[in-house]
Structure 1
């Protein structure tokens, strides 16, 4: 199978695509007798190409996985002036032309699109070339772009039953959120040791998304002295706020600093950070839904208020399943984040119950289910 992947803007759109490619590569290894644990019912992945936007986060993530990368121009339309919408519409047309040329050169058997700006020109070009497309929706509620692009796709894969009603009957299938295989299994204490953390106290992972989250960073910095008395903190702050976050760290005593680790971003180490954590503080993006479930990680979710309500829906879903509590972004300045974290860390039974509920949402076979859909579409 020749597979073209497209999606970007955030890690929540990139990592699912790479997880599916990993599953297909494992199937190829099984056919060669190199990996007995993979699914021999899947076709061999002969070639894979990732198409994203120039300068997007996806370029770096994909390069680290050793997957070839090409770029097309693309831009959003929502929330812009009419003039800027016209400019971006012209960029989209140019992006479709670029994607057409990439498809002609690469000759994929099937396209997997996971959302983000780059997906639009790729999906449209694939439709024009009659190349089958599978769209994967990582969020609970699809945005207008995904709903529009679904008309150009043969099939849609979704993470949750709640998403099925947004698509034509019979077009969508619940597969779950595909995550890196390394997230399943593993030892919590070993992960702590690799990260240089102590066995106690508990570990809180603060993660504002692949680009950071300013309001969360400010709230954590304001409550930092209180938080480090309760837990060890892994704070993935992004680049923009790193200086301010480190100033807050410098105000701590030397013993307190031992409990506080700051990072711009984590790549390979993110698996250990997720596994080591007892509680997460995060935006309610797509990756949150799948990766926290995979490791059974309870969370305090702070939906990004300008994401077209997608994150609100994601957070409400996790809360309804007993896997998370929600704090509104507007409440962060009132100290609500520190209060929520303190309450959960002091309530062991509730924290354990939330962890169990998060684990119930995991779908370890999600990448395989999507890979099988791709195989059917490609005729493999």
Structure 2
């Protein structure tokens, strides 16, 4: 009897991979054949091959879907078409029962290939408003899952379901004392973690480092600064910097008291699940489509976070908002305790199985 088979896709940023990383172990444990279609050089390739070395990874051609003028907008449609052919070859080889897509530009050719091969496909949308890649893929999907209930007003009602956040189970297994030991920190002073996303956030990094001595008077700091953004010469007691972490993250989060972060949906829902008071600095509309601003404002309205617009980030505003975060942290935690949790990993697995 043929094993059930699933192909995951999504990439371009860690946010377009983390839900897949959360779901894949459940299918592997259940004996499914699992494979991944991603881009050739995206962060998803590194994340999947490192965390799931036994899962076949198929790199395909893909074009970046830009909202701004660029000569590459002329050539990238041809890359997408080549990607459709690449994805079709994978699907004909794997013959999956279902495809699960987290979005990102690499998912568009996979969605087209799914339609051609008549393979059932589910899309997961994390943000309040759908991203461009998911918008293009939606007509070819059988089911659309949303993290925010507000998103249902932007998606086809007949095939959309609000499921809430999908949280990686390993995040709940972090050990605070182990996290402090890994970072060389202690339990005598609160720990502030700054996360700028998988690609880092230059302005956030600069704002933190410019007043590192002042901040270290109040906090110990774990700084996830993004690939290529390390400052090895910056060595301070109570300050530990990393480009990106995977296995250490649950332990670092367990040890963390306060978070400064961008407002990517997956990350902020993880902070919510772990009840971490957060100062959110969403990507500006000049650097994005504004999805993080909507995510952050939704959390601020519910009392889960304080929002500082990127345009207003200075040494003074960052420090003042951190002080406000500390003073409001107990109230935030109480409100987080009353939040409605999303589906469990097993519940999401069953939802995906229903498409077969």
TM range (shorter): over 0.9
Normalising by structure 1, we get a TM-score of 0.87
Unaligned runs of 5+ in 2: none
**How far apart are the structure 2 equivalents of 1:68 and 1:362?**
35
- The answer to whether the 8 Å contact 1:157/1:174 transfers is yes
Unaligned runs of 5+ in 1: 29-43, 251-256
**How far apart are the structure 1 equivalents of 2:75 and 2:336?**
43
Matches within 5 A, 1:28-107: 28=30, 44-45=31-32, 47-66=33-52, 67-81=55-69, 83-107=71-95
Q: Which residue of 1 aligns with 2:268?
A: 289
> What is the SS of the residue equivalent to 1:330?
helix
**How far apart are the structure 1 equivalents of 2:194 and 2:18?**
19
Q: For residues 207-241 of structure 1, what are the alpha-carbon distances to aligned partners after superposition, in whole Å with 9 as ceiling and x for unaligned?
A: 00011110000000112111110111000112332
- The answer to whether the 8 Å contact 1:7/1:114 transfers is yes
17, 34, 56: which one aligns with 1:14: 17
Q: Which residue of 1 aligns with 2:305?
A: 324
**How far apart are the structure 2 equivalents of 1:186 and 1:365?**
20
Q: Given the superposition, is the C-alpha separation of residues 210 and 102 from structure 1 closer, same or farther in structure 2, using an over 3 Å criterion? A: same
Matched, 1:313 2:294: yes
> What is the SS of the residue equivalent to 2:241?
strand
Q: Which residue of 2 aligns with 1:277?
A: 256
Matched, 1:229 2:225: no
**How far apart are the structure 1 equivalents of 2:118 and 2:89?**
14
Q: Which residue of 2 aligns with 1:132?
A: 120
Over the aligned positions, Cα root-mean-square deviation in angstroms equals 1.8
Q: For residues 183-209 of structure 1, what are the alpha-carbon distances to aligned partners after superposition, in whole Å with 9 as ceiling and x for unaligned?
A: 125553454345432112111100000
Matches within 5 A, 1:203-218: 203-218=191-206
**How far apart are the structure 2 equivalents of 1:202 and 1:134?**
41
Q: Which residue of 2 aligns with 1:199?
A: 187
- The answer to whether the 8 Å contact 1:138/1:159 transfers is yes
Q: Which residue of 2 aligns with 1:161?
A: 149
Q: For residues 245-287 of structure 1, what are the alpha-carbon distances to aligned partners after superposition, in whole Å with 9 as ceiling and x for unaligned?
A: x44x34xxxxxx2211111111100111112111110111132
Q: For residues 306-341 of structure 1, what are the alpha-carbon distances to aligned partners after superposition, in whole Å with 9 as ceiling and x for unaligned?
A: 120111111111111111111111112353112211
- The answer to whether the 8 Å contact 1:223/1:335 transfers is no
The higher-RCO structure (CA 8 Å, 6+ apart) is: 1
**How far apart are the structure 2 equivalents of 1:264 and 1:22?**
25
